[in-house]
Amino acid sequence: MTLDPTAGIVQLTLDGRGVVVPSGSTVLDAARSLGIDVPVLCHAPDQAPVGVCRVCMVEVKGARALAAACVRVAEAGLEVQTSTERVLRARRTVYEMLLADHPTPCLRQRTTQDCELETLAASAGVVTPRFAPPTVPRPLDDSSPIIRVELDACILCDRCIRGCSDTRHNFVIGRIGKGATTRIAFDDDSPMGRSTCVGCGECMVSCPTGALTNKRSVEADLPADTSMTVGELLGLPMFSEVSGTFLELNRGSVIKRRLRPGEVICNEGEYGSTAFYILSGEVEVSIAAPLGHVQSHGDQAHKGVRHFLRRLTSLVQGESTTADHRRPAFIPIDSSVDVPYETRVARLGAGEIFGEMACLSHYPRSATVRAAVETEVLEMFGNVLYMLQKNKTFKADLDRRYRERALLNHLKSIEAFADLPQPVIDELCDHAELLRYEPGEVICRQGDPADAFFLVRIGFVKVSERFPGGDMVLAYLARGSYFGEIGLLRGGVRTATCEALDHVEVVRISGDDFATTLERSPELSARLSAEADVRLAQNRARQARVSTVPLDDFITQGLMQAQNLLLLDLERCTRCDLCVRACAEAHDGVTRLVRDGLRFDKYLVATSCRSCRDPLCMIGCPVSSIRRRDSLEIVIEDWCIGCGLCAQNCPYGNINLHPFIVQVADETQPGRMRAVVREKATTCDLSRQFKEPACVYACPHGAAMRVDPHEFFADRLGIAT
């Protein structure tokens, strides 16, 4: 049998030149083989052609309409013209129509001057389109830390869709809407940062305009001399599924650090914007010795004010404010493990990550980390960390390590769960699901069916309750806290809304697994039920209180946020300052109030903790040492690292940092101690263990008082109820 040498090839003519191409080729393929420039927008070399933009139109002899060269299959004897006046006029019209739906210049054109649409239109002599822009702007999606989505610049070329589905097989991006409302969307029209996007960057690399652009988390790069090349990064398994172009665009965002034993990587209390992944070796994670709650130990024989306050001093001396609750076994920090309370030291090995909260949310470092042996780590900015956390393989490995090392400790650190039998704890760990939420994303909503119990692993969860007068923030839950048990135990309906305040990861235990655990542990069921009853009673009390007084009556002075104000009746106050001195006497010379502040009628709102409904001071504490008890007073635990974030967050100046002298181990002389000065945040704790606060008790004229502002001012100032 003789083979036909012409089988499988096609001969055609382009612009008067003959060309032979393989069977199945397109007119665009034939033009490129001759070096003829046919412009394209919706087509990319590694993607299947779809012919949606029509920029590549050519004229085929004998055909009624112009054809898109990228999808027009080459046929034997075909005669094609690529640049007739008819073709050029049609292309200019297409450019004008596309530019009408596209801001000029777009973000990409402003920054890198390589927007493909604007470059092609300019080469065709089109700068300002004849057509009016759309009247309804498309939304800006800034939810992803690594990619900016500016839909006004999108021309619906579908290159991002094909890059996501055909190239990367992630199937996250698609079209939504009809007619003029058509646009790209992620999953079921979710913001990109909250979708199942894995952060590979392929859509951004594929986009020909400024609709999808690279976002740098910071302006400055890490040290260039230690930056890893794209080839080195792609050689690591954790980066194997990442677009090389994305890594090239983010060059300088990842460095490799080689550390000697004892070398410090980061210090507690410092602000950071990077996270660390351990390639090899081992690091030691530690926090400094905790400061106990300071108490007065003065000589009772002293005269003057101290003598006058002798009886008060005997009252406030005693156990610290942590005496009425179980001391934690572990202190939560920004890593995959927690630090034991007794030793304050933990270790991390190869394949583990630390610094996620500092990197993604720019919180202070929660611990000091130093190399225990010769160690190599990757230091990375938030855009790279976010992309890795979206990587399914990398995330699965982190989740596995978390289950093996930290989840057990997290569950045992919860007082109610501490005494559960080990088999029950193990079963919960096996069934737990790890979920990630972006800032502002609702985890569960008040009134919805309760279907799960949650444990906070990373970030802060805001818990708020809806009342007729507005929403009230009940708490900010940090790493190691839990929520969702009330809905599961009482009626099956959520009693509050919980949403991610920043980048949050939670451990989800299904309602069925939670119920099984309670059946196997009657003691746990009784403890959680009792706690649920207390919280529901508090909810009813709050409901009755805020339903009688509009929440906006005190907006002008911020009093609407307060639950417990220290007021001084200026008609009774003699400015003796005994309230300030009593507070200092009760707290080892460090007062928790200043006799100055806002005036409301005849009352002075002293500078002292207000027990706010929305306690902003609790946001971001890297070791979760500031918390609320019984939805009222704010307590700063003794493992505070003195970073000062709570003081910065308090809008009323009611939290301060004070230096204390403490004894710590002398690293240069084992077995010996040395005195150092450390700062610790201090705020009013309402003298919880006594009938009334020290400042109120000491006032000889009855001018100082602690009040609920809504009830107090409603009675005295005639606020409408």
pLDDT digit string, tens, across residues 186-224 = 988 888 888 888 777 888 888 999 999 887 644 445 565
- How far out from the chain centre does Cα 487 lie? 25
Query: What topology is assigned to 421-548 in CATH?
Result: Jelly Rolls (2.60.120)
Average pLDDT across the chain, whole number = 79
Model confidence at 178, in pLDDT bands (50, 70, 90)?
Answer: confident
> What pLDDT, on the 0 to 100 scale, is given for residue 389?
78
Q: Give the pLDDT mean for 355-366.
A: 82
> What pLDDT, on the 0 to 100 scale, is given for residue 652?
75
**How would you classify the pairing of strands 9-14 and 79-81?**
parallel
pLDDT digit string, tens, across residues 37-73 = 999 999 888 888 999 999 999 999 988 899 999 999 9
Query: Rounded to whole angstroms, how far apart are CA atoms 522 and 11?
Result: 83
> What pLDDT, on the 0 to 100 scale, is given for residue 3?
37
CA nearest neighbour of 416 among 532, 545, 279, 257: 532
Query: Rounded to whole angstroms, how far apart are CA atoms 160 and 211?
Result: 10
Residue of higher predicted confidence among 314 and 259: 259
Query: Rounded to whole angstroms, how far apart are CA atoms 331 and 335?
Result: 11
Query: Which of 127-131, 441-445, 572-576, 608-612 is most confident?
Result: 441-445
Confidence check: pLDDT of 552 > 50: no
pLDDT digit string, tens, across residues 515-531 = 888 888 888 888 888 88
Q: Which CATH number applies to 9-123?
A: 3.10.20.740
Q: Give the pLDDT mean for 278-307.
A: 60
69: alpha, beta or left? (left if phi > 0; alpha if psi -120 to 50): alpha
Query: Rounded to whole angstroms, how far apart are CA atoms 287 and 294?
Result: 19
> What pLDDT, on the 0 to 100 scale, is given for residue 332?
80
Q: Mark out the alpha helices in 550-639 (DSSP H runs).
A: 578-586
Residue of higher predicted confidence among 542 and 510: 510
Residue of higher predicted confidence among 684 and 82: 82
* Structural domain spans, the chain: 9-123, 421-548, 558-716
**How would you classify the pairing of strands 17-22 and 57-60?**
unpaired
Confidence check: pLDDT of 708 > 80: no
Query: Rounded to whole angstroms, how far apart are CA atoms 432 and 444?
Result: 17
> pTM for this structure?
0.64
Confidence check: pLDDT of 300 > 50: no
pLDDT digit string, tens, across residues 112-158 = 888 999 999 999 999 888 888 877 777 788 888 788 899 889 999 99
Model confidence at 482, in pLDDT bands (50, 70, 90)?
Answer: confident
Tokens found for residue 273: 């914007």
pLDDT digit string, tens, across residues 621-677 = 777 778 776 556 777 877 787 888 888 888 777 787 877 776 666 666 666 767 777
